[in-house]
Structure 1
Amino acid sequence: MCRALVDGAELASFAGGPFDVRAVVAAISPEAKDGFLLDEVPWENFPEGDRVREAVHLLRVGAPVRAGTGVVGGMCANDMRAAAALAVPFMARIAADTHHPHRVDTLAELSSSARARHFGVASRDELLLHRSATDDLYDDYGVEVTGYPAGWSVAAARSAITADSALLQPLLDDPDSGIRVHAAYALATAADPHRTVRSALRTRFAIEQDPIVRAALVLAIAEATRAHPHVLTVEWIGDRLQDRTLAPEVRLAAAIGWLCLADETVPKDLRGAVDDLATDERAHAMEALPWMVAAGGSPSLTVSTETPGMSG
């Protein structure tokens, strides 16, 4: 398919077929997901698919994490997400298994293929970047290094996470704070037109005690709102910034979320709040947030309070 596209074939002619990862992910049966029936998935139809299939198998049986999540994460970092999207339903079940030794690492990589860029985020427009399911993902995201349409991979991974959102939401209440952070990160990419996921994130925020997890929940709510705009949620995020009873990490996350969502001119008091909150100590504390890890790939990133959409 990739060769045909280079030669001028129309992408639409492949939509819904055996090389459309969106269609393939949608066709994986619940029985295959729950039973890890990997042979029922046509991994070989996608670049490096057999390698990802083997990585999922090794991950399930508890092999060293590098052989499992390291492969999937490496594929996404190298801009090859199609086969990684096929792994999402299986990784979700590993992450939900409270007895699995690699559930934290698995959950940390679960949504890598559901985001357009792995590293190198460089502006407010990109920090919480993913489009709604109705957008033309192919045009927005271009092609992967293999020539495969990146938007199809992202859409497939997002649909897989959406399908398993009920499996992932209980992880917001997990005793492990790392699980809670990465559950929020994964759920932020789920399609959420009815704000079901955002409701779960806000419910957890109301009882969460760990400031870094609370910061993660705010960013997850902001990312979900980026895909499905909701004025009242933007206002809620702004209120978190103004609430001086909250931990500085939470307020800074709210500032970042607001900056990525709002189109209006940045108020002077917000600029002052960011200046006060964005200390070296705070930056170090927030390195635990996967959004910041992604942004860390671009050493020039600053959270601009100038013209909306422009990087600092």
Structure 2
Amino acid sequence: MSDELVFDHEQVRLHGFELYEGTVLDVRAVVAGMPQDVKDGFRVDEVPFSRFRHAHGGRGDDVPELLTRLRSTNTDVSGPALGTLWDSLVHQGTVGSVAPLTVPFLLRVAADPAAHHRASTIRLANAVARQQHWGFGTRDTFLQVATQGWSCDCSGYPMNWSIDASRHAITADADLILPHLNNPDPDVRTSACYALATAPGGAGHVTGALRAQLATEQDPTVRASLLLAIAELAVENADLHVATWARALWSEPAQPAEVRVSAALAWLCLVDDPVPDELRMTVEALLTDDLVDFFDGVPWIAHVDEKGLVRTLDQMLNDAKPGVIDPWDEEPWPAA
């Protein structure tokens, strides 16, 4: 098949997306088959970017040049390249099918100590590996990474495949992200936590590294992010041991407020139990304006809802109706 091939949507309508599974038009297969030396050598010209599409629907022909410019030590070159990549790869909840092919290269840029925008570059690699919640912070969605049901981008390509391919690309290169947990910049450490949490194969050594870092971490935002990353991996793997651990943390008065609230959120997502009165009272006692403002910097909260922690907790504790956020409007409207 050539790079000119595109999905025949009439055939998809008749036979389903399975018609293209494992072919050169399945971005999951392309990412999985990308040679290690192509990734490590940053040989972007050997990757079929033009076969896939931006979030806007245009072809990915310009992506190799943008990735090359992102490596520049000149911020006047790398900064605009990063901005264009953000706009092209993930836009208003849409992940373009070309996006997963960039993940190995984004992670290698971020791994370079001489690179600029390391936190933002990691966040971009992570953004294309997550579904958009658009106002849903319920117990069964807050720590949910993978899409449920079929969802398509602007060109009609299944975003499920794109997000899945991006997640597996992160898993394959998790060892490039793990060192960022010790980066002196807390923003880089936070971004690394959020990215590692999307790795479907991260329940082993990744979780171990996150827990080891939590034992010594001094920055409150990173502590909250480490805890939520551990919980997100546990949700995917149905690890109820983490639920027991989280309950012990939110029940312990000696723990910092951000740890107790993050642990409460984690526990609520890991179990189906009714909300205990003890948890309600704990959260209510800790929920100051300063803590609400603090959680605006924790990516899990920002990803769900621009209104922050209060509305997320309202959904979890009180079964409040989620809001569907209109990307063109600051005010959400009720979900149907």
State TM-score, norm by structure 2: 0.84
Tell me which residue corresponds to 2:37. 31
Paired AA for residue 223 in structure 1: E
State whether structure 2 residue 100 is matched by structure 1 residue 85.
Answer: yes
CA positional deviation for 1:250: 1.4
Paired AA for residue 187 in structure 1: L
Counterpart Cα distance in 1 of 2:275 and 2:239: 19
Give the match's secondary structure for 1:237.
helix
Tell me which residue corresponds to 1:17. 23
Tell me which residue corresponds to 2:3. none
In the alignment, is the contact (CA less than 8 A) between 1:212 and 1:289 conserved in 2? yes
State whether structure 2 residue 173 is matched by structure 1 residue 164.
Answer: yes
State whether structure 2 residue 80 is matched by structure 1 residue 71.
Answer: no
Give the gaps of 5 or more residues in structure 1: 132-136
State whether structure 2 residue 63 is matched by structure 1 residue 59.
Answer: no
State whether structure 2 residue 53 is matched by structure 1 residue 47.
Answer: yes
Deviates more, 1:166-175 or 1:6-15: 6-15
In the alignment, is the contact (CA less than 8 A) between 1:124 and 1:311 conserved in 2? no
Give the gaps of 5 or more residues in structure 2: 1-6, 55-59, 324-336
Tell me which residue corresponds to 1:230. 239
**Structure possessing the higher radius of gyration over alpha carbons:** 2
CA positional deviation for 1:51: 3.5
Deviates more, 1:267-276 or 1:277-286: 277-286
- How many residue pairs are counted as aligned between the two chains? 306
In the alignment, is the contact (CA less than 8 A) between 1:85 and 1:113 conserved in 2? yes
Tell me which residue corresponds to 1:134. none
Deviates more, 1:78-87 or 1:38-47: 78-87
Counterpart Cα distance in 2 of 1:175 and 1:275: 33
State whether structure 2 residue 191 is matched by structure 1 residue 176.
Answer: no
Higher helix fraction: Structure 1 or Structure 2?
1
Counterpart Cα distance in 1 of 2:238 and 2:83: 32
Deviates more, 1:52-61 or 1:222-231: 52-61
State whether structure 2 residue 105 is matched by structure 1 residue 99.
Answer: no
CA separation of 1:119/1:85 partners in 2, compared to 1, >3 Å: closer, same or farther? farther
State whether structure 2 residue 145 is matched by structure 1 residue 130.
Answer: yes
Counterpart Cα distance in 2 of 1:105 and 1:269: 38
CA positional deviation for 1:40: 1.1
Counterpart Cα distance in 2 of 1:204 and 1:101: 24
Deviates more, 1:232-241 or 1:154-163: 232-241
Tell me which residue corresponds to 2:123. 108
CA positional deviation for 1:308: 7.2
CA separation of 1:198/1:126 partners in 2, compared to 1, >3 Å: closer, same or farther? same
CA separation of 1:242/1:74 partners in 2, compared to 1, >3 Å: closer, same or farther? farther
Give the match's secondary structure for 2:61.
helix
CA positional deviation for 1:193: 6.3
Listed one character per residue, the Cα deviations across residues 71-95 of structure 1 (whole Å, up to 9, x for unaligned) are: 2355323303321111110011111
In the alignment, is the contact (CA less than 8 A) between 1:265 and 1:307 conserved in 2? no
Give the match's secondary structure for 1:146.
coil
1:193-204 alignment, distance < 5 Å = 194-204=203-213
Tell me which residue corresponds to 2:229. 220
Counterpart Cα distance in 1 of 2:185 and 2:39: 25
Counterpart Cα distance in 1 of 2:107 and 2:202: 21
Among the aligned pairs, what percent are the same residue? 36
C-alpha RMSD over aligned residues? 2.3
Counterpart Cα distance in 1 of 2:320 and 2:12: 32
Counterpart Cα distance in 2 of 1:38 and 1:297: 36
In the alignment, is the contact (CA less than 8 A) between 2:136 and 2:322 conserved in 1? no
In the alignment, is the contact (CA less than 8 A) between 1:125 and 1:310 conserved in 2? no
Listed one character per residue, the Cα deviations across residues 215-250 of structure 1 (whole Å, up to 9, x for unaligned) are: 100010111111111111111112111122221111
Counterpart Cα distance in 2 of 1:178 and 1:107: 10
Counterpart Cα distance in 1 of 2:286 and 2:107: 35
State TM-score, norm by structure 1: 0.90
In the alignment, is the contact (CA less than 8 A) between 1:193 and 1:228 conserved in 2? no
Listed one character per residue, the Cα deviations across residues 261-309 of structure 1 (whole Å, up to 9, x for unaligned) are: 2111111110111212222211111222111221234679432344779
Counterpart Cα distance in 1 of 2:34 and 2:130: 21
CA separation of 1:57/1:5 partners in 2, compared to 1, >3 Å: closer, same or farther? farther
Paired AA for residue 296 in structure 1: D
